[in-house]
């Protein structure tokens, strides 16, 4: 340990785990991180940290880093061989030559970029510019597709822009919290502490939790709705049906601020309490109670068309239970329908509020780092938007940005498996574990001519497929910005320099790797701009260009600067001339649509893509544990974080276990149409009959799973389906039909 006579330095930064976006104070001594504290001045957490955040300094310990970090660029001559170190200039030249060759031979759409909601906004921006501006392909997507694209699609469809209208402070004002498909207690722990505090201060606040699993979050609920998996749209339409029948909708708000209600009213006529109760597995009485609380009709008030100003405010918090679904956009939109129908939006304590899973999924959306978007919430399909970005990027006259959407996450790996995509550049994410239907993903990684993996951790399973490994810096070493769930932009700051390899080389910042490689590509590909598209020497220069791209857009941050962010995080929009950000949107009842009105969406209920059957009688959901993060690159290095749940396991209802003759801890084979996995089974009263849960964190290096073809698979995603929402292209990770059989050991 460093000497205690050396000065302690404190660096203000942001937690790299979940979308709550807590501020952290990093204590370092002599270029070594020795402690992490919650930042008492950060509005997201006011000094609090969860188990993951408060152990961050241990994950940055040099002894841990020596075991898990990539320190030098490495190249393989052929797949399966041991990678050999090379210098950065050799690695970048080799990558540029190979990429240029593939682009010249097959066109720019033969390249796919798969990036990450863990990247900083500046990293995201240059990746997006490289793909769309320099190469001319929209084949760039992100692991955020797996966590929030349904929320994005639904916000745009209903409210006109991808902008969560509420903020964390609304929890302190809400009279009803409607938590749907979110185990906030585990996935967003510091936010849950805030909910607990609000409930303790105001016991009259009503909390409804709608979730097939009776999670820790449900333990706080005044009303728990254990709906059958995948039936959320049915539930939301059923609640609207009751609100209409009882006269609880806000007719004035609907008339003045929305369109499309007539069609929706007609649709929900058949979603009677009896029909909804049967499909969702809920009691009509509970539906009635939930509808009344949500509508915000105070006890004793006449139950007819109460104006929104007299209603008790309702805030919805929702996450992957709605998003990770083949009808994810519909689920989000139909919940937003309820807010619009009751005028529960644009007031303190009221509004639909999607929680982002990752620390910078929001920043990636802001810079348009997805296959269907352009910078600053512009649309690829809009010629004017493409022209604006071509002008900002100073592309040569007549050089248009590609108009057709690129391949989204699942489509990208399917295209690589089919041989359409020849080169994959993967940054800061581990698709060989986290993507659904691993057999296809691994065929894609095997078949691609070139796989570049830009990564901080050598433990990522995807590294095994890399022709070229580019070592990246990580939390504690990087500079830039992230945006959390409530549109709040925070600075990420370097507390220590990155580790060095024995020969003095070391990881580079993600933005730097992209810029260094992009400049080489500019020399090898036909020119699309007058000068370099990548004139940046630091992340601030990139961020300033991103800021300019937002001018006049719904997320305008032209009034913001790194200097302002030095003093405090800020919520967008923050246009020029303003001195503060914007906590809450749509307070004036105007929406960023062509006519200024929000739009109701009348989508009928559809069951999950892969329903339970006689052969596969259980509905399996996957999800987070409280103390682990994603594929455990970071959290898996700390023994203390295994104290909560020490091993991969399957949870199921005790009666299902008893009927199958299973004892607690007994090994079972969980099998879907795509593969199987052997795990210990444990009884859990969180689960209802014919449902089971498997954590998402363990990969093939931890548990043995094999596909029918005998390929080693990566944990639970060897089983999951790649079926996705047709609008959002978000895969259905929350519903896989499986069978569970005992494994009898010899
Ligand atoms: Fe980090 Fe999320 Fe925990 Fe906050 S709640 S400390 S952002 S993991």
Domains along the sequence of the chain with CATH: 8-68 (3.30.200.210), 88-147+361-571 (3.40.50.740), 152-355 (3.40.228.10), 618-742 (2.40.40.20)
Q: Which residue's CA is the nearest one to ligand 1's atom 3? A: 50
Instruction: Report the distance separating Cα 37 and Cα 594, nearest Å.
Output: 46
Residue 88's pLDDT band (cuts 50, 70, 90): very high
- CB 539 less than 6 A from any atom of ligand 1: no
The token pair at 18 is 């979940």
Q: Cα(516) to centroid of ligand 1, in Å?
A: 32
User: What are the two backbone dihedrals, phi and then psi, of residue 531, each rounded to the nearest 5 degrees?
Assistant: -115, -155
pLDDT in the model for residue 746: 63
pLDDT in the model for residue 301: 67
Atom from ligand 1 closest to the CA of residue 484: 7
- CB 50 less than 6 A from any atom of ligand 1: yes
- CB 341 less than 6 A from any atom of ligand 1: no
Per residue in 457-467, pLDDT tens? Answer: 998 999 999 99
Q: Cα(55) to centroid of ligand 1, in Å?
A: 11
- CB 49 less than 6 A from any atom of ligand 1: yes
pLDDT in the model for residue 707: 44
pLDDT at 502 over 90: no
* Mean pLDDT (whole number) for 436-448: 95
Degrees to nearest 5, angle at CA 292 with 227 and 153: 60
- CB 20 less than 6 A from any atom of ligand 1: yes
pLDDT in the model for residue 5: 78
- Spatial neighbors of 652 by CB under 8 A, at least 6 apart, are 618, 681, 682, 683, 684, 687, 691, 692, 693, 740
Residue 708's pLDDT band (cuts 50, 70, 90): very low
Per residue in 207-261, pLDDT tens? Answer: 999 999 999 999 999 999 999 999 999 999 999 999 999 999 999 999 999 999 9
Q: Cα(275) to centroid of ligand 1, in Å?
A: 40
Q: Is 406 left (phi over 0), alpha (psi -120 to 50) or beta?
A: beta
Per residue in 199-219, pLDDT tens? Answer: 999 999 999 999 999 999 999
> What is the residue-wise DSSP string for 466-517?
-SEEEEB--TTT--EEEE-TTSEEEEE--SSPPP--TTS---B-HHHHHHHH
| Core vs surface per residue 642-680: b (16+ CB within 10 A) or e | eeebeebbbbbbeebbeeeebeeebebebbbbbbbbbbb
pLDDT in the model for residue 4: 65
* Mean pLDDT (whole number) for 80-92: 95
Pocket mutation for ligand 1, best pick of 46, 190, 486 (most atoms within 8 Å of C-beta): 190
Residue 3's pLDDT band (cuts 50, 70, 90): low
Instruction: Report the distance separating Cα 725 and Cα 732, nearest Å.
Output: 7
- CB 15 less than 6 A from any atom of ligand 1: yes
Atom from ligand 1 closest to the CA of residue 629: 8
Per residue in 670-699, pLDDT tens? Answer: 999 999 999 999 999 999 999 999 999 988
Residue 709's pLDDT band (cuts 50, 70, 90): very low
Higher pLDDT, 197 or 67: 197
Q: Quote ipTM for the complex.
A: 1.00
* Mean pLDDT (whole number) for 486-498: 98
Higher pLDDT, 655 or 305: 655
pLDDT in the model for residue 525: 95
- CB 482 less than 6 A from any atom of ligand 1: no
Per residue in 304-351, pLDDT tens? Answer: 667 888 899 999 999 999 999 999 999 999 999 999 999 999 999 999
- CB 190 less than 6 A from any atom of ligand 1: yes
Exposed / middle / buried, residue 592 (Cβ in 10 Å: 0-12, 13-18, 19+):
middle
Mean pLDDT over each residue of the chain, to the nearest integer: 94
- CB 488 less than 6 A from any atom of ligand 1: no
User: What are the two backbone dihedrals, phi and then psi, of residue 283, each rounded to the nearest 5 degrees?
Assistant: -90, 140
Q: What is the reported pTM?
A: 0.96
Q: Cα(362) to centroid of ligand 1, in Å?
A: 16
> What dihedral do alpha carbons 524, 528, 532, 535 form, nearest 10°?
-120
Q: Cα(200) to centroid of ligand 1, in Å?
A: 22
Pocket mutation for ligand 1, best pick of 13, 16, 18, 59 (most atoms within 8 Å of C-beta): 18
How far is residue 554 from each of residues 365, 370, 377, 563, 584, measured CA to CA in Å?
13, 18, 8, 22, 13
- CB 108 less than 6 A from any atom of ligand 1: no
The radius of gyration computed from the CA coordinates of the chain, to the nearest angstrom, equals 25
Atom from ligand 1 closest to the CA of residue 24: 6
Q: Which residue's CA is the nearest one to ligand 1's atom 4? A: 22
Instruction: Report the distance separating Cα 45 and Cα 657, nearest Å.
Output: 40
- CB 74 less than 6 A from any atom of ligand 1: no
Considering the chain, what percentage of its residues have pLDDT values greater than 90?
A: 90
Q: Cα(711) to centroid of ligand 1, in Å?
A: 36
For residue 315, give the DSSP letter: E
């Amino acid at each position: 340990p460093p000497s205690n006579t050396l000065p302690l330095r404190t660096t203000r930064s942001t937690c790299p785990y979940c979308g709550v976006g807590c501020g952290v104070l990093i204590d370092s001594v002599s270029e070594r991180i020795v402690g992490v504290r919650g930042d008492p001045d950060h509005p997201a957490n006011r000094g609090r940290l969860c188990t993951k955040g408060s152990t961050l300094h241990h994950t940055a310990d040099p002894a841990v880093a020596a075991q898990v970090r990539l320190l030098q660029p490495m190249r393989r001559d052929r797949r399966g061989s041991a990678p050999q170190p090379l210098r950065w200039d050799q690695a970048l030249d080799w990558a540029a030559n190979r990429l240029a060759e593939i682009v010249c031979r097959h066109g720019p759409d033969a390249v796919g970029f798969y990036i990450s909601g863990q990247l900083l906004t500046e990293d995201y921006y240059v990746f997006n510019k490289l793909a769309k501006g320099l190469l001319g392909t929209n084949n760039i997507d992100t692991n955020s597709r797996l966590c929030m694209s349904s929320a994005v699609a639904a916000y745009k469809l209903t409210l006109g822009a991808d902008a969560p209208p509420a903020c964390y402070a609304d929890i302190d004002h809400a009279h009803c919290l409607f938590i749907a498909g979110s185990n906030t207690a585990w996935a967003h722990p510091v936010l849950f502490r805030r909910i607990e505090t609000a409930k303790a201060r105001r016991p009259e606040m009503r909390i409804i939790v709608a979730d097939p699993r009776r999670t820790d979050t449900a333990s706080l609920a005044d009303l728990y709705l254990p709906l059958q998996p995948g039936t959320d749209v049915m539930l939301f339409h059923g609640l609207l049906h009751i609100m209409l029948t009882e006269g609880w909708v806000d007719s004035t708000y609907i008339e003045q601020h929305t369109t499309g209600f007539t069609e929706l009213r007609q649709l929900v006529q058949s979603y009677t309490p009896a029909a909804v109760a049967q499909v969702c597995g809920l009691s009509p009485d509970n539906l009635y109670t939930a509808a009344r609380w949500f509508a915000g009709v105070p006890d004793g008030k006449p139950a007819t068309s109460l104006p929104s100003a007299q209603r008790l405010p309702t805030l919805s918090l929702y996450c992957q239970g709605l998003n990770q679904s083949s009808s994810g956009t519909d689920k989000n939109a139909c919940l937003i329908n309820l807010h619009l129908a009751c005028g529960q939006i644009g007031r303190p304590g009221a509004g639909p509020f999607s929680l982002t899973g990752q620390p910078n999924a929001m920043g990636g959306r802001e810079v348009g780092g997805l296959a269907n978007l352009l910078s600053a919430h512009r649309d690829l399909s809009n010629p004017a938007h493409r022209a604006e970005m071509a002008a900002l990027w100073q592309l040569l006259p007549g050089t248009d940005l590609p108009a057709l959407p690129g391949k989204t996450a699942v489509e990208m790996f399917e295209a690589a498996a089919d041989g359409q995509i020849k080169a994959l550049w993967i940054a800061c994410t581990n698709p060989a574990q986290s993507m659904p239907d691993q057999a296809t993903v691994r065929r894609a990684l095997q078949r691609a001519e070139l796989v570049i993996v830009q990564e901080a951790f050598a433990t990522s399973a995807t590294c095994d497929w890399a022709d070229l490994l580019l070592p990246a810096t990580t939390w504690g070493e990087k500079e830039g910005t992230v945006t959390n769930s409530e549109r709040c932009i925070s600075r990420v700051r370097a507390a220590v320099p990155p580790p060095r390899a024995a020969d003095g080389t070391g990881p580079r910042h993600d933005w730097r790797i992209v810029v260094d490689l992009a400049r080489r590509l500019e020399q090898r590909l036909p020119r699309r701009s007058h000068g370099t598209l990548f004139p940046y020497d630091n992340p601030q220069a990139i961020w300033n260009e991103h800021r300019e791209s937002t001018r006049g857009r719904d997320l305008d941050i032209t009034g913001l600067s790194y200097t302002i962010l030095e003093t405090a995080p800020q919520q967008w929009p923050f246009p020029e001339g303003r001195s503060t950000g914007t906590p809450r949107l749509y307070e004036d009842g105007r929406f960023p649509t062509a006519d200024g009105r929000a739009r109701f969406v009348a989508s009928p209920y559809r069951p999950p893509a892969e329903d339970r059957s006689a052969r596969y009688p259980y509905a399996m959901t996957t999800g987070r544990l409280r103390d682990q993060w994603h594929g455990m690159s970071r959290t898996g290095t700390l023994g203390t974080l295994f104290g909560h749940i020490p091993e991969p396991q399957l949870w199921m209802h005790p009666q299902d276990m008893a009927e199958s003759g299973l004892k607690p801890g007994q090994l079972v084979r969980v099998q879907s149409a795509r593969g199987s996995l052997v795990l210990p089974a444990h009884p859990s009263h969180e689960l209802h009959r014919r449902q089971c849960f498997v954590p998402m964190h363990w990969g093939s290096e931890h548990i043995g799973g094999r596909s029918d073809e005998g390929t080693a698979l990566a944990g639970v995603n060897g089983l999951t389906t790649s079926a996705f929402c047709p609008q959002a292209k978000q895969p259905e990770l929350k519903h896989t039909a499986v069978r569970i059989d005992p494994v009898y050991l010899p």
